Amino acid sequence: MDYYNIALVALFVIVITGIVLGWGDNRKIVVFQDYNDLGECFLIPASAVVIYLVFVNLLGGKPEYALLICAVVSTSLFLLCVFRTFRSNNYNIFKALLALCTKLPLAILWVFSLVSMLNPQGKTARERRQSRGVAMVILTIITPIVAQLVVEKKGSLFNPKQWIKGRHGVSHIRNTL
């Protein structure tokens, strides 16, 4: 077994430990405080993907500059995520590190699976169908796990309940048009 596989197994064990300790009413760590925390964490990989695609493909910019902008935005969001996670876990460094090592791989896996589902890789239709199927399976497994890791089912920016029902406060915009 090489070092890469050992690192993957170690990361997998850490993520599973974080999921177990962050699950349910008797949780020992806080992985996601609320839906805003979840959304901000998922913005780290999502913003990098979107910024790169828009800057390079739509605007015709150089990939080097796109990567620099992605690095600045993702680093800023990461530092915000670190601070919020540290605060949510009562300033306990070990709990915060375990929560970070749980939430970031889940966010990266979820975002890249979503991108793979929307734009599957492969040369043939069969390869693209298989890639889309694997992404759907990953999303089907990861999404309810992530939902269970949210402590307070509320949030003003990234609340899925508001998205399903419709955003509150939009009617006044419609009425003034």
Per-residue pLDDT tens for 121-174?
A: 889 999 999 999 999 999 999 999 998 999 988 877 776 666 666 555 555 555
Residues 134, 8: Cα–Cα separation, whole Å: 19
Within-domain flag for 163: no
Residue 19 located in a structural domain: yes
Region of 119 on the Ramachandran plot (φ > 0 left; ψ -120 to 50 alpha; else beta):
beta
pTM, two decimals, is 0.80
Residue 39 lies in a domain: yes
Per-residue model confidence (pLDDT) at position 59: 85
Q: What's the structural domain count of the chain?
A: 1
Does 158 map to a domain?
no
Q: Is residue 91 part of a domain?
A: yes
The CA R_g of the chain, rounded to the nearest whole Å, is: 18
Per-residue pLDDT tens over the stretch 16-64: 999 999 998 888 999 999 888 898 999 999 999 899 989 988 888 888 9
**Is 161 or 86 the better-scoring residue by pLDDT?**
86
Which residues neighbour 114 within 8 Å (Cβ) at sequence distance 6 or greater? 135, 139
Could you tell me if residue 174 is inside a domain? no
Distance CA 121, CA 115 (A): 10
Structural domain boundaries, residue 64: 3-153
Amino acid at 70: C
Residue owning tokens 């992530």: 146
**Whole-number Å distance between alpha carbons of 8 and 13:** 9
Residue 56 counted as domain residue: yes
Which of 68-72, 83-87, 145-149, 159-163 is predicted least confidently?
A: 159-163
Residue 58 has a pLDDT of 86
The CA dihedral of 119, 123, 126, 130, to the nearest 10 degrees, is: -50
- Please give the structure tokens belonging to residue 57: 């493909």
Is 177 a domain residue? no
The DSSP string of 74-89 is HHHHHHHHHHHHHHHT
Report, as an integer, the average pLDDT of 108-121.
Answer: 90
Classify 166 in phi/psi space as left (phi over 0), alpha (psi -120 to 50) or beta: left
State the chain's maximal CA–CA distance in angstroms.
65
